């Protein structure tokens, strides 16, 4: 089965499906050309394709749907999953919230990211942990009209190569909802240093690293929202991210299904083709079901955002979508690995299966265990993190 045969599973709005196909066709030669290039070259090539450009809010299909379709298209073309993840993370977790939720002042200084010459990162996690934002030690103290920032952010996607960062810091003590603030600033300010770079088993193409801040003087204009509104900014960026970031997996999921179905259809086993086994066929159907569920949910979230529903109102649905798609991605990958036998674990083989990439989705953008706690709390259970 070719990836094109998967069209039977793609029955969304015709204009959106056409966009996915157009983007895939445009991306195929580019993806082949950049396969062995470094991350920055790959990023610029995707920017040149227009993947980082946000459509106008009144575009048809809407801007979030368009961006999701483009990410799916480049994934279908075979773009590296780490690159797709990094693009989805910046577009949905930073560009859209900065443009559509955090006010014109937030977007203006970084609007150029759409051309690719400049990269953003979202710096929340610290070495001591990421799940509990109130454990953060990075501090910003008022000085005149501005702030002085001290601390460190660790395990940050793109930190080694980013030009600007959204950084969360404590501006008051304790666990009050107003103890945190968010800042947006360029990483060439005096006092900012790049710390350790981490080699990852998951999504290794996109670098991960640490940002160190020592007496960094930030102008008042670097503050996103008001002093003390860091938690609200975080609620916005994370709701956007959880709604659609897993769109990065739609292309890789389809390629995985196509590849596994081909293998099961052709391989001779026990004197017949492997796909003649009902158990094998059921695994393939389960993979298709996981893909179908994920696709429907992600495009439904994109449609809600395009309809102008504020991301923060979608927090619970965003969490459910993130949990559901990430866990379907993991289950689907397990099915593929099971059907591929030993070849799943041999890097030189076409059937080598990346389990670490899908597994990482259980952790980033909010660990699923903690998201479940949040959903149950919304349903009235007296449960805290
Ligand atoms: C690929 C990748 C990219 C990332 N990119 C970024 C980035 O760009 N910016 C950024 O700021 N961070 C980033 N992170 C870090 C990520 O946000 C954190 O890993 C995440 O917030 C969890 O923090 P932690 O790893 O310290 O886990 P911990 O806080 O130590 O939690 C580990 C696990 O313990 C369990 N657990 C802990 N507390 C509870 C509880 N109260 N209830 C139930 N279960 C609990 C959960 O299963 C949880 O997954 C990235 C992570 C990955 C894997």
110 CB near ligand 1 (under 6 Å) = no
Q: Is residue 318 part of a domain?
A: no
CATH code at 157? 2.40.110.10
Rounded to the nearest angstrom, the distance between the alpha carbon of 327 and the centre of ligand 1 is 16
Rounded to the nearest angstrom, the distance between the alpha carbon of 2 and the centre of ligand 1 is 37
Q: Contact, 179 vs 134, CB < 8 A? A: yes
Among protein residues, the one with the nearest Cα to ligand 1's atom 33 is 367
Q: Which two tokens stand for residue 281?
A: 């066929």
Rounded to the nearest angstrom, the distance between the alpha carbon of 48 and the centre of ligand 1 is 33
Among protein residues, the one with the nearest Cα to ligand 1's atom 49 is 367
Q: Mean per-residue pLDDT for 78-91?
A: 98
CA dist 12 → 20, 37, 235 (Å)? 11, 34, 29
CA 124 to ligand 1: nearest atom: 11
Among protein residues, the one with the nearest Cα to ligand 1's atom 21 is 130
Rounded to the nearest angstrom, the distance between the alpha carbon of 360 and the centre of ligand 1 is 10
pLDDT for position 251:
97
Q: Is residue 218 part of a domain?
A: yes
- Residues 155-172 have pLDDT tens digits of 999 999 999 999 999 999
Instruction: From 331, 253, 265, select the one nearest 292 (Cα to Cα).
Output: 253
Q: Is residue 219 part of a domain?
A: yes
202 CB near ligand 1 (under 6 Å) = yes
Q: Is residue 180 part of a domain?
A: yes
201 CB near ligand 1 (under 6 Å) = no
Q: Mean per-residue pLDDT for 180-185?
A: 97
124 pLDDT above the threshold of 70: yes
2 pLDDT above the threshold of 60: no
Rounded to the nearest angstrom, the distance between the alpha carbon of 368 and the centre of ligand 1 is 9
* Average pLDDT value for the chain: 95
pLDDT band at 214; cut points 50, 70, 90: very high
Count CA atoms closer than 13 A to 380's CA, side-chain side. 0
Q: Is residue 195 part of a domain?
A: yes
CA dist 195 → 39, 123, 161, 168, 214 (Å)? 19, 13, 12, 17, 12
CA dist 45 → 71, 118, 120, 246 (Å)? 13, 13, 17, 21
128 CB near ligand 1 (under 6 Å) = no
Instruction: From 137, 148, 199, select the one nearest 170 (Cα to Cα).
Output: 137
Task: Cite the beta strand spans of the chain per DSSP E.
Answer: 120-123, 139-143, 146-157, 164-170, 180-186, 192-198, 208-218, 223-224, 268-269, 272-273
Using DSSP's 3-state secondary structure scheme, residue 132 falls into coil
Q: Is residue 384 part of a domain?
A: no
Q: Is residue 335 part of a domain?
A: no
Rounded to the nearest angstrom, the distance between the alpha carbon of 242 and the centre of ligand 1 is 14
Domain range for 191: 120-227
Rounded to the nearest angstrom, the distance between the alpha carbon of 21 and the centre of ligand 1 is 35
Total domains present in the chain: 1
Q: Is residue 294 part of a domain?
A: no
Distance, CA of 127 to CA of 200 (rounded, Å)? 15
């Amino acid at each position: 089965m070719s990836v094109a045969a998967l069209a039977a599973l793609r029955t969304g709005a015709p204009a959106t499906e056409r966009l996915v196909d157009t983007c895939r066709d445009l991306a195929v030669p580019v993806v082949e050309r950049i396969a062995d290039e470094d991350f920055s070259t790959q990023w610029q090539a995707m920017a040149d394709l227009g993947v980082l450009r946000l459509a106008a809010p009144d575009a048809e299909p809407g801007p979030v749907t368009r961006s999701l379709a483009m990410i799916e298209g480049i994934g279908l073309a075979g773009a590296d999953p780490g690159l797709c993840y990094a693009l989805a993370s910046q577009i949905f977790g930073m560009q859209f919230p900065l443009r559509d939720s955090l006010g014109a002042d937030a977007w203006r200084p970084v609007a150029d990211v759409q051309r690719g010459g400049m990269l953003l990162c979202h710096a929340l996690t610290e070495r001591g942990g990421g799940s509990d934002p109130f454990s953060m030690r990075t501090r910003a103290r008022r000085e005149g009209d501005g702030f002085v920032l001290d601390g460190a952010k660790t395990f940050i996607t793109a930190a080694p190569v980013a030009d600007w960062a959204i950084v969360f810091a404590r501006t008051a003590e304790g666990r009050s909802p107003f103890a945190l603030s968010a800042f947006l600033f360029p990483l060439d300010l005096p006092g900012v240093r790049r710390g350790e770079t981490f080699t990852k088993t998951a999504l290794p193409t996109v670098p991960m690293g640490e940002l160190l801040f020592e007496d960094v003087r930030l102008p008042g204009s670097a503050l996103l929202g008001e002093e003390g509104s860091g938690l609200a900014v975080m609620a916005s960026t994370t709701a956007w991210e959880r709604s659609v970031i897993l769109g990065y997996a739609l292309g890789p999921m389809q390629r995985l299904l196509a590849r596994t179905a081909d293998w099961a259809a052709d391989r001779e086993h026990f004197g017949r083709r492997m796909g003649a086994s009902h158990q094998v066929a059921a695994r393939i159907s389960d993979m298709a079901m996981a893909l179908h569920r994920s696709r429907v949910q992600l495009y439904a979230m994109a449609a809600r955002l395009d309809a102008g529903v504020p991301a923060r109102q979608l927090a619970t649905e965003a969490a459910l979508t993130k949990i559901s798609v990430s866990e379907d991605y993991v289950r689907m990958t397990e099915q593929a690995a099971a059907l591929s036998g030993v070849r799943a674990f041999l890097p030189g083989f076409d059937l080598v299966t990346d389990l670490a990439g899908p597994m990482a989705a259980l952790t980033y953008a909010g660990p699923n265990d903690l998201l479940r706690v949040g959903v149950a709390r919304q349903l009235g259970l007296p449960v805290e993190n």
